[in-house]
Amino acid sequence: MKKLLLLLFCLCTWQSWAQGLAQPDRIKTEKGDLVVQPVTHGTVVLQWNNKTIWVDPYGGAQLFTGLTAPDLILITDIHPDHLDLKTLEALPTSKAIIVAPQAVVDKLPEAMKAKAKVLTNGAKTSEIGIDITAVPMYNLPEAADAMHTKGRGNGYVLRIGNKNVYLSGDTEDIPEMRALKNIDVAFVCMNLPYTMDVNQAASAVLEFKPKVVYPYHYRGQGGLSDVNAFKNNVEAGKKNVEVRLRNWYPENKS
């Protein structure tokens, strides 16, 4: 059985490499490894305990070739790099529960709405054995015409085994992010003018001190953010935060 599971994992890994995706990472939990598969931009696939989570599936169905169909889909916001209906409708999502804010659910096709769980900021649910807390994500200063207004979208904190996993969504270095506690793995955005720059992101990370942080969602109007500068800033803070740089933009082949 172990040999079969190893073979399946290697096959999935080979398929991911073949389509240009970064090699998946493995993070130990008390109930087996959490497998982290970067896909593109703000999209990540998580696998744990024989369950698969897709976060903000985006970028075309071809990017998901060979990846396991989802049991759970998390969507953070209404913008098309998070709520990509063309991609969602082209993928095998019929068995998946969708967790999303109301603004997202309002835009889903009727068949997907029927499987959706609405979470507002601060609300919690438990799906497929994973505790999910919706947390704020928004721009500073707060304004009615901001690209991301407070309360519309969700970041998420997931309890996966004995690990707490934070997904920032589109946000600046808001007080709610800085106040996070006991985060084991964080996915933090950094792209101007939509979210924040690498200095803001590093400052926030040094305050809430996740054990591991992945810069993701780092393509902005000026191209890709300097994630190496982010890594240097975090490491200079000497807070024992491991920065993992992965290629979230497979078309760049970097």
Q: For 11-41, how does the pLDDT look when each residue is reduced to its tens digit (9 = 90+)?
A: 444 444 445 899 999 999 999 999 999 999 9
Where are the domains positioned within the chain?
A: 2-247
pLDDT digits (tens, 9 = 90+) for 228-242: 999 999 999 999 999
Q: What is the 3-state secondary structure (H, E, C) of the chain?
A: CHHHHHHHHHHHHHHHHHCCCCCCEEEEEECEEEEEEEEECCEEEEEECCEEEEECCCCCHHHHCCCCCCCEEECCCCCCCCCCHHHHHHCCCCCCEEEECHHHHCCCCHHHHCCEEECCCCCEEEECCEEEEEECCCCCCCCCCCCCCCCCCCEEEEEECCEEEEECCCCCCCHHHHCCCCCCEEEECCCCCCCCCHHHHHHHHHHHCCCEEEECCCEECCEECCHHHHHHHHHHCCCCCEECCCCCCHHHCC
Looking at the chain, the whole-number percentage of residues with pLDDT higher than 70 is 91
Q: Rounded to whole angstroms, how far apart are CA atoms 35 and 165?
A: 12
Q: What is the mean pLDDT of residues 74-78?
A: 98
What is the rounded average pLDDT of the residues 101-110?
97
Q: What's the pLDDT at 20? A: 81
Right CATH for 2-247 from 3.10.530.10, 3.40.50.2000, 3.60.15.10, 3.40.190.10: 3.60.15.10
- The residue whose two tokens read 């985060």 is 183
- Answer yes or no: are the C-beta atoms of 41 and 81 closer than 8 Å: yes
pTM score:
0.92
